[in-house]
A and B are shown apart, each in its own frame.
Chain A
Amino acid sequence: AQRVTQPEKLLSVFKGAPVELKCNYSYSGSPELFWYVQYSRQRLQLLLRHISRESIKGFTADLNKGETSFHLKKPFAQEEDSAMYYCARGSIYNQGGKLIFGQGTELSVKP
């Protein structure tokens, strides 16, 4: 089965500390991977995707095919980063962009 695993339900850090949200996926292949974020009382939105190799709001994510991981990192967390983060992958059957999501990690950045 295609799976995306986010092992941490809740991650709590202090402002200015580094943060890493873990994501592992099943099946190596050539996955399309994404991080989506949901801030309080806002809709789910794309944060970044691996094909873009971009840094958004200071976050980066590196695809490690050997470890089948796509961890999200930021060197200095800010309070406004507090949100729910979901790792997702496209289906290996290329089903029109269908996404398979992890369970989500709630990031809490304390002052």
Chain B
Amino acid sequence: GAGVSQSPSNKVTEKGKDVELRCDPISGHTALYWYRQSLGQGLEFLIYFQGNSAPDKSGLPSDRFSAERTGGSVSTLTIQRTQQEDSAVYLCASSTGYSGYEQYFGPGTRLTVT
């Protein structure tokens, strides 16, 4: 079946604009994760969804970042008033939600803030 998909694959935006990044997880996966991959920072956890609720938002870097998940499926990560330091690759992953189980990653969205 289809893997995790993300859109857009690339996004260039001006500083101060809002952006929305989308993730379609593998069907039936209840857990969904957002990570950020940037130079010098490696892979950072942002937020975790179990179904439509987000029990762990501890990795969101500021209140400009928010995310939602609807229907236990698609998730949207929104960054308001983008800053240059938000430039990174944003990765989405899904899994069965049990610790120790494999996470399946999407191809990522490369965000560039000019």
Contact = CB atoms under 8 A, between A and B. Distances in A.
> What is the size category of the interface that chain A forms with chain B?
20 to 34
A44 interface: yes
Interface residues of B, number: 28
Contacts of A44: 43, 91, 93, 105
> Dominant SS at the A interface?
loop
Interface stretch (A12-20, A61-69, A72-80, A89-97): A89-97
B42 A86 contact: yes
B33 A98 contact: yes
A83 interface: no
Given A49-B100, A49-B102, A51-B100, A97 B95 contact: yes
Interface string A20-50: 0000000000001000000000011110010
B100 A32 contact: yes
B23 to A, nearest CB: 13
Contacts of A97: 31, 33, 48, 95, 97-101, 103
Contacts of B48: 95-98
B36 to A, nearest CB: 11
B31 A96 contact: yes
Nearest to B4: A43
A88 B99 CA distance: 12
Interface string B61-81: 000000000000000000000
19 contacts: A32-B100, A43-B106, A46-B102, A49-B102, A90-B100, A95-B55, A95-B56, A96-B50, A96-B55, A96-B97, A96-B99, A97-B48, A97-B98, A97-B100, A97-B101, A98-B56, A99-B33, A101-B44, A103-B42
